[in-house]
Amino acid sequence: MTAALTRRLEKLEAGRRDEYHARWQAGIDRLLLSMDRAHVTLLQDWMHEHCGGLTLHRLPGETWYTLLDRLRPPALVRAVWILMYEYMGTGAPVALPPNVAEVYLSDADAVPASPCDRCAYLMPTQSRLRPDGTYRHVGRYLGACPVCGLDNHPNEEMTG
């Protein structure tokens, strides 16, 4: 490969990396601004203690399932990771207002896994993660989506 071609490829890769980091920063800023300050502190304290900082490092070949199994984050931290993963992959909205964060704080099995019918925000469900990366849903939380306000289950009674 020529030096000129190598420089062009490096510029393209740097541009893509910069776009990725800008998108990540926009998403995490939006997410943290939606959260109660005490919940942000819980998240950051856990990350510092268990991850050595605010960056999540996956081991070579590590899947999301094995990462979650290795680190065993509490439901609130797991929710932030999953919301950001989906945001980066699909553009799903990111938000964790206090009433939704409380679901994760009160239920260790809560996972953002039920997309809103209107905006695709991942609402909490009571789920178990299977080794293949899918979820076995045990229950779901009802009510209006915190992003768009749609009541995804208007004919059901609130369970959580």
Instruction: For 143-154, write each residue's pLDDT tens digit.
Output: 789 999 998 766
Whether the Cβ atoms of residue 109 and residue 138 lie closer than 8 Å to each other: yes
Whether the Cβ atoms of residue 122 and residue 83 lie closer than 8 Å to each other: yes
Q: Is residue 151 part of a domain?
A: no
Q: Is residue 149 part of a domain?
A: no
Q: Is residue 63 part of a domain?
A: yes
Q: How far is CA 119 from the centre of its chain?
A: 15
Residue 122, classed as helix, strand or coil, is strand
Q: Is residue 160 part of a domain?
A: no
User: Hey, what are 70's tokens?
Assistant: 């290795």
Please, what's the b/e burial string for 85-108 (b: 16 or more CB within 10 A of its CB; e: otherwise)? ebbeeeebbbbbeeebbbbbbebe
Give tens-digit pLDDT for 46-90. 999 999 999 888 899 998 778 988 999 999 999 999 999 999 999
Counted domains in the chain: 1
Q: Is residue 34 part of a domain?
A: yes
CA distance 146 to 153: 14
Other Cβ atoms closer than 10 A to 143: 18
User: Hey, what are 16's tokens?
Assistant: 């893509």
Going by pLDDT thresholds of 50, 70 and 90, the confidence category of residue 157 is: low
Q: Is residue 114 part of a domain?
A: yes
Whether the Cβ atoms of residue 121 and residue 148 lie closer than 8 Å to each other: yes
Q: What is the mean pLDDT of residues 114-141?
A: 82
Q: Is residue 150 part of a domain?
A: no
Other Cβ atoms closer than 10 A to 135: 14
Q: Is residue 85 part of a domain?
A: yes
Going by pLDDT thresholds of 50, 70 and 90, the confidence category of residue 155 is: low
**Lowest-confidence segment of 90-94, 108-112, 128-132 by average pLDDT:** 128-132
User: Hey, what are 2's tokens?
Assistant: 């020529």
Domain of residue 105 covers 3-140
Single-letter amino acid code for the residue at 94 = V
Q: Residue 137: its pLDDT value, please?
A: 73
Please tell me the pTM assigned to this model.
0.81
| Higher per-residue confidence, 28 vs 133 | 28
- Sign of the Cα pseudo-torsion (103, 31, 94, 49, in order): negative
